[in-house]
Amino acid sequence: DTGVSQDPRHKITKRGQNVTFRCDPISEHNRLYWYRQTLGQGPEFLTYFQNEAQLEKSRLLSDRFSAERPKGSFSTLEIQRTEQGDSAMYLCASSHIAGVGQGEQFFGPGTRLTVL
Amino acid sequence: AQSVSQHNHHVILSEAASLELGCNYSYGGTVNLFWYVQYPGQHLQLLLKYFSGDPLVKGIKGFEAEFIKSKFSFNLRKPSVQWSDTAEYFCAVIPYSGAGSYQLTFGKGTKLSVIP
Q: Does residue B105 sit at the A interface (CB-CB below 8 Å)?
A: yes
CB-based contact B8:B109 (threshold 8 Å): no
Distance from CA of A16 to the nearest CA of B (A): 29
Mean pLDDT value across residues B94-102 = 77
Tens of pLDDT, residue by residue over A27-47, are: 888 999 999 999 989 999 999
∠ Cα A86 A88 A92 (to 5°): 110
* DSSP structure string for chain A: --S-EEE-SEEEE-TT--EEEEEE--TT--EEEEEEE-TTS--EEEEEEETTEEEEE-TTS-TTEEEE-GGGS-EEEEESS--GGG-EEEEEEEE---SSS-PPPEE---EEEEE-
pLDDT of B100 > 90? The answer is no
Nearest chain B residue (CA) to A41: B108
Residue A102's pLDDT is 62
How many CB atoms sit inside 10 A of residue A61's CB?
Answer: 18
Distance from CA of A101 to the nearest CA of B (A): 5
pLDDT of A101 > 60? The answer is no
Q: Does residue A41 sit at the B interface (CB-CB below 8 Å)?
A: yes
Q: Does residue B32 sit at the A interface (CB-CB below 8 Å)?
A: yes
Distance from CA of A25 to the nearest CA of B (A): 14
Report in angstroms the alpha-carbon separations of B62 from A10, A88, B23, B58: 33, 32, 18, 7
Mean pLDDT value across residues A55-82 = 93
Residue A79, strand partner residues = A19, A65
Tell me the HSE value of B108 on the side-chain side, using a 13 A CA sphere.
9
Residue A61's pLDDT is 87
Chain A residues within an 8 Å CB radius of B46:
104, 106
Mean pLDDT value across residues A63-73 = 93
Backbone phi, psi, residue B40, to 5°: -50, 125
